[in-house]
Amino acid sequence: MKFFTKKRIVLFLLFIFPLICFLILSTGENNFKKLPILTEKVKNLSEIDTLQTVQLKESVSIVCFLGNDVKSMTSGLLNLNEKIYKKFLDYKQFQIIAIYPNNKSEEVANLKDQIGAFTDMQKWRFLPGNKSQIKAFYEGFQYNEPLNNLASSKVFLIDKNLNLRGRLKDDKTDKKLYGYSLNSVSELNGKLKDDLKVLYYEYYAAFKEKNKNKANRKEVGL
C-alpha cells in the first residue's frame, strides 16, 4: 500500500486523470452530438453591407439587432461582451455582429465607447441598415418571434456555412431554442457558451478527420 502515497495520489489527480479523460473523449470524437441546424442557409449580409466589409461565410457569428432604442440594449450587450465575447475573443473566425438602423449612429458610437472601455473591440462588427433591409435579413432566420422596433432581446448563432444553430428542445420551454436571451446572464454563460464550444469542437473533429483521411490516402498511395 506504500505505492499509494499522498504525493502520488495528488500527481494522479492533477496530471494522469485529466489525460485519461482527454484520451477517452478523443477516441469518441466522431460520436459526439452536433449542434442542431434550425434554419439552413440564412441570407448573407450583402444587402445591408453593400461594400461587403463583413462576411458571415467562414465565420462563427453571434448576430444581434439593436433597434431604434439602442440605449435600452446596453445592459444586455454588456452581458454579451463579458460572458461570451471575452471568452471567445481568441477563437478563430469568431465575431459579434450588431445590426442597427441608419439613423442611430450617434447612439451606437456611445455604446461602442462603453463596451470598448475595457475591451479589445477587434471582433465586434457594427452594421447600419434601413428598415426593409434589417427586416428581410431577420426574416431569413425563419423565427416566429418578430422584431420589436427593429430590435430583438435575443442573439443568434450562425455557423460558417450560413446555418442558424440552436437547440431542438429548450430545457425550459420544451420548444426549439432559436436565440439566446441578452437579458439572462445564466443563458449566455450557460447555453450559448456551451453551444459555441460544441460548434467549435464539431469543426475541430471534422478537421482531425480530414487530416486522418489524407494520411490514410498517402499510406495507400492515392
Domains and CATH numbers, the chain: 37-210 (3.40.30.10)
Rounded CA separation 82/161 (Å): 26
Tell me the pTM.
Answer: 0.82
The model's confidence at residue 171, banded by pLDDT at 50, 70 and 90, is: confident
Q: Is the pLDDT of residue 168 over 90?
A: yes
| pLDDT at residue 41 greater than cutoff 60 | yes
pLDDT bucket at 30, cuts 50 / 70 / 90 = very low
Q: What is the pLDDT of residues 78-102, one digit of tens each?
A: 999 999 999 999 999 999 999 999 9
Digit-coded pLDDT (tens) for 142-163: 999 999 999 999 999 999 999 9
Confidence of residue 11 (pLDDT cuts 50, 70, 90): low
Q: Considering only 59-73, 176-190, 200-214, which range has the smallest mean pLDDT? A: 200-214
